[in-house]
Structure 1
Amino acid sequence: MKKKIIIAIIAFVVIGGISISLATQNKAVEVNTQAVIRGSIASYIEEIGEVKVKEHVNIYSPTAGKVSEVMVDIGDKVKEGDLLIKLDGEELSRSIEELEAQRSSILAQYNEAKKPVDKESIAKLNIEISNLEKRITTVEKEVNDKKVLFDAGAISNEEYNAAVRNLDVERGNLEKAKLDLEQLSKPVSGNILAQYEAQLKQLDLQKESLMDSGEDYKITATIEGTVLLKEVEEGSYLQPGMHIMEIGNTNDMYIESDILVGDIIKIKEGSEVILSSDDLDLTELKGKVSKIHPTAYSKVSDLGIEQKRIKIEIEIEDSTLDLKPGYELDIKIIIKKNEDTLYIPEDAVFEMDNKDFVFVVEDDKAILKEVKTGIESQRQIEVLDGLNEGDIVVLSPDNELDNGIRVKVTK
């Protein structure tokens, strides 16, 4: 009786195990999937670019003076020759006087530099040098004699040091006389004279310009464009060379960006660029690289790391957009692009034995397939071989998946 009970229990366990095993085998693993898509894919370099104007000028004050009137404001359109600023006439008169004083000072230096060599003074210096050399010879003998007396205890240390100091003074006088002779004998450099002449000419031009301006000195626009920056107000006092305005042609703008040296070798003039900005609600604005600057420079990143970068210029293809100088845009410089190709999400691909694989869903089963991949971009990866358009691949496959296992698609 006991044997029958044991046999029944064993049979029950065996049957239960078989049932559980079959149930486990028939249970499908839930997976997320996506179809293989045909389209275009591109790899690119991402950076930030700033809108710049191609043609612009900085306006500087040519003279000192008080601003009596400012004729334009930021954003105003101006034409070449339009009046920008007036300076007070009284200040103008003082500026002319200052120019005349500067000219007199420079002219005096110029005339002094042009003086011929003074032969009489040179002769006197040669005589003085000869006399000094003789005195030094005599003083050197005295120092040597007093050194012997000092060593013998015949004279004091103070008396000996006085003789040494006297020798140093005479040597100093000789050195000065030689320098004076060298300076007096040396002709003035032609470059020095040319510099004086250039300064005099510049002052004459400034004075002529001020005299022609009449009661008020007027500063005018040198190009047609828009006032981008204004750093002067009515009542301001200007000094020569002070920056007062910037004018630019906003009808002709471009994008400037800094590219890492390691990335610049992948970029060529003519490379396609995609421009966008969430702040400006711009998407997929097209451009192309128009210029790559020849020289690299150092720039510290936001993380405090010094990097070598090269500037590039990007031409904007759509000139109707209302962009402003100084706007920042996200740029994507296309370095490789394939059209009419297959691609899938990159998290569908995994590596095994140095090869790339995916799981494809066929007849509710996960089938392992080797693939050959190409460009990676925006979490997508190109498939060059191993899949067909419309195939369903498993996303983020885990360790539960195995070749031939049943699956249930949840997404």
Structure 2
Amino acid sequence: MKGLKKKRKWIILGAAAAAVVLISIIGASMNGAEVESAVVDKGQVIKLIKESGTVEAENTVVIAAKNSGEIRKVLVEEGDRVTAGSKLMESEVTSAQMDIKSLQSDLAGLQAQYNQAKNLADKNKTLYEQGALSYEDYNASNTAAKQLSAQISSLSYTIKSYEESSGAAGVTAPINGTVTEVFIKAGETVTAGASLFEISDLSNIYVKVDLIAEDADLVQVGDPVKVYNEDAGFTDENCKVRKIHVKAQEKMSDLGINQKRVTIEIALSQSTALRLGSNLDIEISVDQRENAVRVSDKAVFELENKDYVYVVSDGKAVLREVELGLEGEDFIEVLSGLEEGDVIILSPEDEIQEGTKVKV
């Protein structure tokens, strides 16, 4: 008997719970489903292309070894300022350096011969002008001096060319700038063509960004760009696209997918000491509309290949077809179907249908 009473009690409780749920559903239906809404207004619609870019130097040179050999001493380190012609390292004595010394010895000998010949030619000129020497003798001494001068010029050029091609003169900075990378250490042996130093002109930097080809086709030189890095507290909203490279290059994405990407160069408006190689967020404005009738992108959905929104009218959801224009970052331009002041439903749930009572 006790068990029967307990069973009846559970049946009564279950029925009561079901009744509460039913009453809640009926109540919600009568009061209307609560929805998030927004008002159609007029304003700016901007289409942005977002990507990550890298700080690059306008002029960067990687210096390579011209021949094989051992590094005796590295004279600079990363961060050092150098001027064109500054010596960067010393290497072991090579056969080329020995050849250069031999040629320089020959040059010194020619210089001594030329000095003697020039002195003789000058004396003979005086004697010729005084009538004490024939023109033939004077001309012969003068010609000999000129020939030696020509040999000196030729040998000097040969030595300079040999020094540059062989690296025997040592490794020097080709430009004014900052040493941004040192690839070698003293005592190491390098082969011809190996990278030794990287020098960059940090006084003139820009941002390089690689866009997928479809996005790059939307970009034009002069488009406004916002460049920023929230972690570094850096923002430059007045940048411009300065160059769009012609060729699309195949590059691997972070997800391991090969994509055709086009390099875009962005000019900064601020003279800021950004770290070379650091990443910056990029927002390129490729199109915009001013004072456009616009709607939140959360309100628009597609149905049978047409665009729709739900408009709230007399407390009910009304399906409205819309013609869209420019699709921006948060807003979409509406060409027809909506007017300023219309109330629309954001992110409508599946339960919202034509004629559904709603509460905003």
**TM-score bucket (shorter structure):** 0.5 to 0.7
Checking the alignment, whether the CA contact within 8 Å between 1:63 and 1:95 is kept in structure 2 is no
| Per-residue deviation, 1:228 | 0.9
CA–CA distance in structure 2, aligned partners of residues 300 and 393 of structure 1: 42
CA–CA distance in structure 1, aligned partners of residues 331 and 158 of structure 2: 67
Match of 1:271 in 2: 223
CA–CA distance in structure 1, aligned partners of residues 54 and 27 of structure 2: 63
1:348 paired to 2:299: yes
Match of 1:78 in 2: 82
User: What is the Cα-based RMSD across aligned positions, in Å?
Assistant: 3.9
CA–CA distance in structure 2, aligned partners of residues 405 and 326 of structure 1: 56
Match of 2:269 in 1: 317
Q: 1:389 to 1:318 in 2, by over 3 A?
A: farther
| Per-residue deviation, 1:334 | 2.8
1:295 paired to 2:247: yes
| Per-residue deviation, 1:291 | 1.6
CA–CA distance in structure 2, aligned partners of residues 362 and 209 of structure 1: 83
Match of 2:18 in 1: none
Match of 1:172 in 2: none
Q: 1:260 aligns with which of 212, 215, 227?
A: 212
Secondary structure of 2:93's aligned partner:
helix
Secondary structure of 1:295's aligned partner:
coil
Deviations 1:290-328 (A, max 9, x none): 2222233333444444433332222222332x3222222
Larger fraction in helix: 1
Amino acid across the alignment from 1:222: P
Deviations 1:16-51 (A, max 9, x none): xxxx9x978742221111233433222233333222
Match of 1:249 in 2: 201
Secondary structure of 1:96's aligned partner:
helix
Match of 2:332 in 1: 381
Q: 1:310 to 1:407 in 2, by over 3 A?
A: closer
Match of 1:51 in 2: 55
Amino acid across the alignment from 1:70: V
CA–CA distance in structure 2, aligned partners of residues 209 and 358 of structure 1: 72
Amino acid across the alignment from 1:259: L
Q: 1:33 to 1:284 in 2, by over 3 A?
A: farther
| Per-residue deviation, 1:379 | 4.7
**Percent of counterpart pairs with the same letter?**
35
The unaligned stretches of length 5 or more in structure 2 are 1-23, 103-154
1:92 paired to 2:93: yes
Deviations 1:120-171 (A, max 9, x none): xxxxxxxxxxxxxxxxxxxxxxxxxxxxxxxxxxxxxxxxxxxxxxxxxxxx
Q: Counterparts of 1:10-409 in structure 2 under 5 Å?
A: 26-62=30-66, 66-87=70-91, 91-92=92-93, 94-97=95-98, 204-205=159-160, 207=162, 218-282=170-234, 285-320=237-272, 322-352=273-303, 355-362=306-313, 364-402=315-353, 405-409=356-360
The answer to which of 288-297 and 395-404 deviates more is 395-404
Amino acid across the alignment from 2:80: D
| Per-residue deviation, 1:94 | 4.5
Checking the alignment, whether the CA contact within 8 Å between 2:236 and 2:270 is kept in structure 1 is no
Amino acid across the alignment from 1:341: A
Q: 1:379 to 1:67 in 2, by over 3 A?
A: same
Amino acid across the alignment from 1:376: E
CA–CA distance in structure 1, aligned partners of residues 316 and 342 of structure 2: 13
Checking the alignment, whether the CA contact within 8 Å between 1:285 and 1:318 is kept in structure 2 is no
CA–CA distance in structure 2, aligned partners of residues 313 and 287 of structure 1: 11
| Per-residue deviation, 1:406 | 3.7
Checking the alignment, whether the CA contact within 8 Å between 1:84 and 1:221 is kept in structure 2 is yes
Amino acid across the alignment from 2:51: E
Secondary structure of 2:322's aligned partner:
strand
The unaligned stretches of length 5 or more in structure 1 are 1-19, 102-199
Secondary structure of 1:263's aligned partner:
helix
Amino acid across the alignment from 2:56: K
Q: 1:362 to 1:229 in 2, by over 3 A?
A: same
Q: TM-score, normalised by structure 1?
A: 0.57
Secondary structure of 2:76's aligned partner:
coil
Checking the alignment, whether the CA contact within 8 Å between 1:227 and 1:245 is kept in structure 2 is yes
Secondary structure of 1:347's aligned partner:
coil
Secondary structure of 1:258's aligned partner:
strand
CA–CA distance in structure 2, aligned partners of residues 392 and 52 of structure 1: 48
Checking the alignment, whether the CA contact within 8 Å between 2:100 and 2:163 is kept in structure 1 is no
Tell me which structure has the larger Cα radius of gyration. Answer: 1
Checking the alignment, whether the CA contact within 8 Å between 1:371 and 1:383 is kept in structure 2 is yes
Secondary structure of 2:174's aligned partner:
coil
Q: 1:29 to 1:336 in 2, by over 3 A?
A: same
| Per-residue deviation, 1:63 | 5.2
Secondary structure of 1:378's aligned partner:
coil
Q: 1:202 to 1:294 in 2, by over 3 A?
A: farther
Checking the alignment, whether the CA contact within 8 Å between 1:65 and 1:239 is kept in structure 2 is yes
Matched length: 285
Checking the alignment, whether the CA contact within 8 Å between 1:41 and 1:338 is kept in structure 2 is yes
| Per-residue deviation, 1:76 | 1.9
